Structure 1
């Protein structure tokens, strides 16, 4: 049994770079989702059905948080929220395994993700029953949406580059207006990242260049996992146990906003260092030799 779990926990997922995954994803959420994947495939459950099941689990979590003053209900809210995160990982696995990934499915997945937090925020605000609570919930919700969009954009850029793929043309945003708004924010930094993309595309060894960049950017991307849903789910539970959901909203508004700004700025600094490298310098030297050490120490 121990060997089986280790195999499941570290099974390769080409859509995710394990170096920048939150520990709770690597050792709990994704292993459980991968263990459930064969069951879902045998039962012919669609990815969209899994997304909707996750939304129901999230709605149940929100209902529990209506009575957050009770430790038992708060714990139930945490467990159901973890169930939602497992479903959130499983739906993508099902879509990839069955070749049914689509723009509509991606929109539904994103809608369910944000919908769960909206329901939890509303439940907490209703339980507090004050104008201050509603104001904090709305401000925190808006900042949460912006931070999540930027975080997903940063992750997508990192993972694409680490695979050796440069993008010298800013992505075209299409689809439903909500999808366009979310993607426009997520890709808003792409225009400013063009010097890096052009330098990578023009390198004699773009794959090696991407690997060198990834090694330099991993610490920043790991710090950015604080912006993941996992951190918010845990912090909501902790704030309820501490006796005030307001503590979570203040954490969202102040701490996570600072983390988002600091890590995005740090990521841009890494890009600028690589974009400034002379075109004649071979990328292999960046990985194995003094040139990379010099770059990392700046």
Structure 2
């Protein structure tokens, strides 16, 4: 289905201001520079995880103003590297479900280490009780991130025909496959409303005109559908964490994740149900 970008980049409505103006253009340039080298997309993913851990060490174990600023800068640069692995995979024909899982493992693994490092700072101040806050914030982030990413990937499938993990019949086995299935299980709970659209898209697989019509309708509701998921992405968190550390403690960052971001998650799930009902209605009107 030729309805928009499926290989070389994300459409405008899927990119926040920083992604559109800074991170994604820089990621594409980095990926192109890496194409003639032996560096693989998985290597880039691992390097990204190491960057997040390095930021955590500077934040938590060094802790000077200069170290916090350096950690903030590294964490911001991580967004470029985080996009470059996928761009490199597409440019070199290495895109796969296995690479998607590796990317996710590196992302989550690096941030688990970051949260543990930040938790050690709170432990010094509040004792063992601090870990209840850290674990609560970490689990909140997992749910929020899965909702945000699954919503974006579902929209890309509807509007531009870009498949993702749930469409790959050769999904990896072993630990990676188990984690991928766990991810999809949580995604199914949080974004269950999208299943009706997925079914309509699947039913139009061999009807090009109908598939194009569904894609057009999906793009019409896209800006509204993507608003709250976009607010739950990684970009705001990196900035809030940096500001929290400059204010003297990661506590403020964790409290924002537990309170404000979970409120946005609840609102996002409810809003998504309403928007999916609207899209189902719009699709149904054109069939009769």
Matches for 1:93-242 after TM superposition, within 5 Å: 93-128=87-122, 129=124, 130-163=127-160, 175=173, 176-188=177-189, 192-199=193-200, 201=203, 205-242=210-247
In structure 2, the residue corresponding to 1:43 is in which secondary structure? coil
Report deviation, 1:119: 1.6
Give the Cα separation in 2 of the matches to 1:271 and 1:166.
Answer: 19
Seen in structure 2, the aligned counterparts of structure 1 residues 233 and 191 have a Cα distance that, compared at 3 Å, is closer
Whether contact under 8 Å (1:47, 1:94) holds in the other structure is yes
Give the Cα separation in 2 of the matches to 1:104 and 1:213.
Answer: 28
Seen in structure 2, the aligned counterparts of structure 1 residues 127 and 93 have a Cα distance that, compared at 3 Å, is same
Seen in structure 2, the aligned counterparts of structure 1 residues 237 and 29 have a Cα distance that, compared at 3 Å, is same
More helix by share: 2
Seen in structure 2, the aligned counterparts of structure 1 residues 180 and 279 have a Cα distance that, compared at 3 Å, is closer
Whether contact under 8 Å (2:225, 2:275) holds in the other structure is no
The count of residues paired between Structure 1 and Structure 2 equals 272
In structure 2, the residue corresponding to 1:205 is in which secondary structure? helix
Give the Cα separation in 1 of the matches to 2:10 and 2:93.
Answer: 17
Give the Cα separation in 2 of the matches to 1:197 and 1:48.
Answer: 29
| Structure 1 runs not aligned, ≥5 long | 1-10, 284-298
In structure 2, the residue corresponding to 1:193 is in which secondary structure? helix
Bigger relative contact order, structure 1 or 2 (CA pairs below 8 A, ≥6 apart): 2
The alignment's TM-score, normalised by the length of structure 1, stands at: 0.81
Report deviation, 1:163: 2.0
Give the Cα separation in 1 of the matches to 2:180 and 2:284.
Answer: 37
Give the Cα separation in 2 of the matches to 1:166 and 1:40.
Answer: 25
Give the Cα separation in 1 of the matches to 2:234 and 2:283.
Answer: 39
Matches for 1:77-92 after TM superposition, within 5 Å: 77-92=71-86
Q: Which stretch shifts more, 217-226 or 78-87?
A: 217-226
Give the Cα separation in 2 of the matches to 1:14 and 1:24.
Answer: 18
Q: Deviations over 1:97-149 (max 9, x none)?
A: 11112333222211111122112211111122222322111111011111111
In structure 2, the residue corresponding to 1:101 is in which secondary structure? coil
Q: Deviations over 1:12-42 (max 9, x none)?
A: 9645232121211111111111111222112
* 2:274 maps to 1:273: no
Give the Cα separation in 2 of the matches to 1:178 and 1:48.
Answer: 17
Whether contact under 8 Å (2:6, 2:162) holds in the other structure is no
